[in-house]
Amino acid sequence: MQNSLFIKAAFSQKTERPPVWMMRQAGRFMPQYWEIKNKYSFLEMCKTPEIAADVTMLPVDLLDIDAAILFSDILVTAEAMGGDLSFTNGIGPRFSNPVRSLNDVNSLATDVNDKLQYVADAIKVIQQRLNGKIPLIGFAGAPFTVMSYLVEGGSSKDFKLTKLMLHNEPELAHKLLSKIAKVTADYLNLQIDAGVNAVQIFDSWAQALSWDDYTEFSHRYISEIISNLNRKDIPVISFCKGSSVFAPLMAEAKPDVVSIDWNVDLLDIKKRLPQNIAVQGNLDPHILYADKKVIKERIYKLFERMRGENGFIFNLGHGIMPDIPFDNVKYAVEVIKEFKY
């Protein structure tokens, strides 16, 4: 696996072209996903290893992508800690027992790998199916992003209650974040032991934070998690929405790759990071709605900019939207795979 394009690029080694995978590639933009989704609930899909493996393999088989990502969700850790999680079509995730008081925080469990064994089982099934063809990426949510779902009780536009906890009750917030960070490090180590070839930490909502709050309430816990990983030769990718601002701080947590949103010139930000840190990104996912001519032009523009750089993984600046035409995603992958440095 160390010779795969993806792992080489993640470790900033030279590759003949940039490897490609896309956040949220194991999901709703594929008609085949709906054939499975119509039969099971989302959590049933996550918790049944054979089904999680089927969905993980869809983009591998249909798109011939350079890395697979485990089909699961960042909120499974929060559920294992005691969150009563449900997913409703059109509404998204919900916790019926939001975490807002010291009592709530105290009642959360922190030794939960037993409850997440189904993920290890899924990883083993997926690795059998992949049979060494391409690497498998495992993942977890970053503590701040997971905390926001627990405190708000679901998705939020402004993270009002979460920020209020950070600002009015910082000790309580730290207590909650520490518990999530412990669970997250254990959970990523469980995935590594089960056989993933890389891990990504998703801090999707970091962009809501000021520099100081990001430093105190997010960066600190991501650093702690990364330093607690039994990394062996497993690259660690750190993603956040807001990375165009926070990338230099993200690099201090010592991941191998920083995943960049689309608000910034990728080469410019790469040059501001230590040489041994690779970048992943950073096409605006909305480009995949556009005409094929535009898709090709924008991909080539990004690649020409990154020509000659080691340590570049193609991805979107955030996940694929569910209504992006499948055909456009397939076309984008073909264009990328034709490119030579």
Show binding-site residues for substrate. Answer: 24-28, 73, 149, 204, 318
**159 near ligand CP3 (CB under 6 A):** no
Helix 220-227 × helix 170-194 angle, to 10°: 30
Segment contacting ligand CP3 by CB under 6 A, of 2-10, 87-95, 181-189, 246-254: 87-95
Among 17, 24, 129, 175, binds ligand CP3 (CB under 6 A): 24
User: Which range in 20-28, 108-116, 243-251, 298-306 contacts ligand CP3 by CB under 6 A?
Assistant: 20-28
Question: Alpha-carbon dihedral of residues 41, 58, 12, 328, nearest 10 degrees?
Answer: -100
Cβ at position 52, least distance to ligand CP3 in Å: 9
Six token digits for residue 71: 């089909």
Question: Smallest distance, Å, CB 185 to ligand CP3?
Answer: 18
Residues 6+ apart with CB under 8 A from 161: 98, 100, 151, 152
Nearer to ligand CP3, 264 or 267 (CB): 264
Question: Between residues 26 and 302, which has the closer beta carbon with respect to ligand CP3?
Answer: 26
Rounded CA-CA distance 226/28 in Å is: 30
The contact pattern for ligand CP3, residues 244-283, with x = CB under 6 A and - = no contact, is ----------------------------------------
Q: How far apart are CA 202 and CA 72, in angstroms?
A: 13
φ/ψ of residue 86, rounded to 5: -140, 155
Burial 114-134 (b: 16+ CB within 10 A, else e): ebbeebbbbbebbbebbeeeb
Residue 62 is a binding residue for ligand CP3 (CB under 6 A): no
26 binds ligand CP3 (CB under 6 A): yes
Indicate the annotated binding residues: 24-28, 73, 149, 204, 318
